[in-house]
Amino acid sequence: MGLGRGQSPLLMALLLLLACLQMGMSLERISYVPQLSSATLAGRLTQSTFTLEQPRGPFSHPSISDSDAIWLVVAHSNATQKFTAPQKVEDTPVPADFPQRGYYLTLRASRALYPGGPPSNQLRVLRVGNDTRCSPRTRGCNRPLPGPGPYRVKFLVMSDRGPMAETEWSSETRLQQAEVLQAAPGPQTAGIVVIIAILSVLLAVLLAALLALLIFTWYDTCGSTPISGPGELVFVRKYDTHHMSRPSAVGGS
């Protein structure tokens, strides 16, 4: 059953209105890709944090005001396709939602903190995962990252009316992992065993020499020092008693 002539212009108007609404709901794309900080920076990558270069002026669009919030979106690399910008600040995902959603928002700022112009002498970086004191259920909490990743990030601009603009996703970032010490196979293992055996023999010889030295010192000391025996003690006591009792005997005679 075909459409009447009067219904065709009405249908076209409805389709055009839907297209305009869809265009109005789409976010403005900012041609900026978040980058890791310089490789010479200490602590650029750790087991729970990574450091980004601070943006310089990418949010100076006329549609963005100083009161708009600029969030950093942290996501697992495989969760970027399912990211949905929250429509209200109250719906902002927190680090506690990370295991289920695969992303959360942190490091809220304004464009005044990301000024343009040439770089200054001050080091301006953003360290992701640097706050160990905030609760993972707190909005904007910058908790340490739970694993090695990989992670990807982007910036999201939100006003009181909802999301407005977003940057490109960064490349994948993998954190450092704790290294497990393992014995090297092959000739290196045999060499280590030989070194340990030689050190053990030298340690045993050193202990034996020290013990012999202690015994010799003790024997030499005991052999050269006169020690009074029981007979000398008895002799001294008899001499003192005889000396003290002699005048009494003379007086009595």
Exposure string for 5-27, b = 16+ CB within 10 A, e = fewer: eeeeeeeeeeeeeeeeeeeeeee
Q: What is the mean pLDDT of residues 33-61?
A: 86
Residue 146, Cβ neighbours under 10 Å: how many? 13
Per-residue pLDDT tens over the stretch 200-213: 888 999 998 888 88
For residues 127 and 45, give the distance between their C-alpha atoms in angstroms, rounded to a whole number: 9
What pLDDT is stored for residue 229 in this prediction?
46
pTM over 0.85: no
The rounded mean pLDDT for the chain is 77
Strand pairing class (125-128; 162-167): unpaired
DSSP code string of 115-163: --SS--SS--EEEET--SSS-TTSTB--PPPSSS--EEEEEEEEETTEE
Give residue-wise pLDDT tens across range 109-130: 888 888 877 666 565 788 999 8
Answer with the residue of higher pLDDT: 154 or 247: 154
